[in-house]
Amino acid sequence: MGKPWSPSHVSEVAKGVGIDLRISGGVKEALVALLQSELQRITRNMEEETLEKDPNRKTLGDPLRTRLGFNRTRGLMIDEIVNVESVSSAAVVAANEILESYLQRILLSASEEASSEKLGTIMKRHLDLVLSDSKSNIGDELIKSETNSDNEFIADSINDSKFDVLTSVSLRNIMKQFSGKKLENDAIDELLLLYYDYASSIEFNLQKNISLGDLNEIRLSFGKFEQLMMLGWMRRILKSASEKADSQGSNLIKLDHIVAIDPWS
| Residue 199 pLDDT | 76
| Each residue's pLDDT tens digit, 153-187 | 333 433 333 334 456 666 666 665 655 677 787 88
Q: Are 158 and 104 in contact (CB under 8 A)?
A: yes
- Residue where a domain stops, chosen among 17, 46, 64: 64
* Residue whose C-alpha is closest to residue 185's, from 258, 243, 234, 235: 258
Rounded CA separation 263/265 (Å): 6
94, 128, 147 - which closes a domain: 147
What is the distance between the alpha carbons of residues 125 and 110, in angstroms, rounded to a whole number? Answer: 9
| Cβ proximity of 237 and 191 under 8 Å | yes
- Residues 106 and 211 both lie in one domain: no
Residues 191 and 250 in one domain: yes
Q: Are residues 138 and 172 in the same domain?
A: no
Least confident of 138-152, 177-191, 206-220: 138-152
Range of the domain at 169: 149-265
Residue 194 and residue 264 in contact, taking contact as beta carbons nearer than 8 Å: no
Say which amino acid occupies 198: Y
Number of domains composing the chain: 3
What are the C-alpha distances in Å from 126 to residues 33, 41, 49, 102, 114? 50, 42, 35, 16, 6
Q: What is the CATH number of the domain that holds 142?
A: 1.10.20.10
Specify the pTM. 0.47
114 and 33 belong to one structural domain: no
Instruction: List the CATH number of the domain containing 225.
Output: 1.10.20
pLDDT cut 70: percent of the chain above it: 78
- What pLDDT, in 10s, does the model give residues 21-66? 788 888 888 988 888 888 888 888 888 888 888 888 888 877 777 7
